[in-house]
């Protein structure tokens, strides 16, 4: 059971990733988490991340290579945030082949641009770590945290123009990957404009159908 999860920012990828790895007891390979961890000891990486630049393929690939050396991945794994480029996709193929491993499916959470922008720009967060969404999970009192009463804020990343830019970058980067995985028959389209339970059900159904054979 080895999978890749793709989807634009705001599609609920993080939530789905958590559900999948918990339900199927596989390992969550999140490049976001790996970056945060590696940043502490890797100065070059730290520089890229704090400048908001894309981390070069070589650094990402080496990190993945190292991670795949660990024994726990034998339980199965889910890539989240990787691969991002065609170069990364091809390198991953080589690494997996050398270990006699393969990807079983690539889940693509499809969601319209308008829906994503609505979700992202509706996000509000509190210093205490609680997050809300104006349309979906509002706080009881407008602009105030239910847990601690502090004022809710909108992160810079969630402002409309930044959100649009992130979506555009995602589209440009990911399109070739989608084509690649479609061509080799691994792509599974997931309807993402539903609530998180429905989205997970679609993924679960697919994994179960494949593994019950
Ligand atoms: Zn709070």
Model pLDDT for residues 168-211, shown as the tens digit of each residue: 888 888 889 999 999 999 999 999 988 889 999 999 999 999 88
The bridge status of strand 131-133 relative to strand 123-125 is antiparallel
Q: How many CB atoms lie within 10 A of CB 73?
A: 16
Pick the catalytic residue from 19, 119, 123, 124: 123
131 close to 123: Cβ distance less than 8 angstroms: yes
45 within domain boundaries? yes
Q: Say what the pLDDT of residue 213 is.
A: 62
Instruction: Tell how far the Cα of 41 is from the centroid of ligand 1, in angstroms.
Output: 31
84 is catalytic: yes
Instruction: Tell how far the Cα of 87 is from the centroid of ligand 1, in angstroms.
Output: 42
206 within domain boundaries? yes
15 close to 26: Cβ distance less than 8 angstroms: no
Pick the catalytic residue from 36, 99, 155, 208: 155
Instruction: Extract the tokens encoding 131.
Output: 């997050």
Query: Residue 95 sits in a domain of what CATH number?
Result: 3.40.50.300
> How far is residue 49's CA from residue 53's CA, in Å, rounded to a whole number?
6
CA-derived radius of gyration, the chain: 18
Number of domains observed in the structure of the chain: 1
78 within domain boundaries? yes
137 within domain boundaries? no
87 within domain boundaries? yes
> How far is residue 52's CA from residue 89's CA, in Å, rounded to a whole number?
22
> DSSP assignment, residue 113?
H
Instruction: Tell how far the Cα of 157 is from the centroid of ligand 1, in angstroms.
Output: 19
Instruction: Tell how far the Cα of 63 is from the centroid of ligand 1, in angstroms.
Output: 35
Dump the DSSP string for 120-178: HHTEEE-TTS-EEETTTB--SSTTB-TTT-PBPB--GGGSHHHHHHHHHHHHHHHHHHH
Pick the catalytic residue from 19, 119, 124, 166: 166
147 within domain boundaries? no
Structural domain containing residue 198: 2-112+167-211
142 within domain boundaries? no
Positions of the chain with pLDDT lower than 50, given as ranges: none
Instruction: Tell how far the Cα of 122 is from the centroid of ligand 1, in angstroms.
Output: 17
Model pTM score: 0.84
Instruction: Extract the tokens encoding 26.
Output: 């596989």
Q: Say what the pLDDT of residue 174 is.
A: 87
36 is catalytic: no
Q: Say what the pLDDT of residue 70 is.
A: 95
126 within domain boundaries? no
166 is catalytic: yes
Instruction: Tell how far the Cα of 113 is from the centroid of ligand 1, in angstroms.
Output: 29
* Distance set, CA 146 to CA 108, 136, 138, 140, 164 (Å): 34, 15, 10, 6, 29
Q: Say what the pLDDT of residue 48 is.
A: 74
Instruction: Tell how far the Cα of 147 is from the centroid of ligand 1, in angstroms.
Output: 5
Q: Say what the pLDDT of residue 52 is.
A: 62
Pick the catalytic residue from 13, 19, 119, 124: 13
């Amino acid at each position: 059971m080895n999978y890749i999860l793709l989807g634009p920012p705001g599609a609920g990828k993080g939530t789905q990733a958590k559900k999948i790895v918990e339900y199927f007891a596989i390992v969550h390979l999140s490049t976001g988490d790996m970056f945060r961890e590696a940043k502490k000891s890797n100065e070059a990486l730290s520089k890229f991340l704090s400048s908001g630049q894309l981390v070069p393929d070589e650094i990402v690939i080496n990190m993945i290579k190292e991670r795949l050396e660990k024994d726990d991945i034998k339980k199965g794994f889910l890539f989240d945030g990787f691969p991002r480029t065609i170069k990364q996709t091809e390198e991953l193929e080589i690494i997996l082949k050398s270990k006699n491993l393969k990807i079983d499916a690539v889940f693509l959470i499809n969601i319209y641009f308008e829906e994503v922008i609505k979700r992202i720009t509706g996000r509000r967060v509190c210093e205490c770590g609680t997050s809300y969404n104006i349309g979906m999970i509002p706080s009881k009192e407008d602009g105030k945290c239910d847990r601690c009463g502090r004022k809710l804020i909108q992160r810079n990343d969630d402002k409309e123009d930044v959100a649009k830019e992130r979506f555009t970058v995602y589209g440009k980067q990911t399109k070739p990957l989608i084509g690649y995985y479609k061509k080799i028959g691994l792509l599974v389209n997931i309807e993402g404009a539903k609530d998180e339970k429905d989205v997970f059900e679609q993924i679960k159904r697919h994994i179960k159908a494949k593994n019950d054979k």
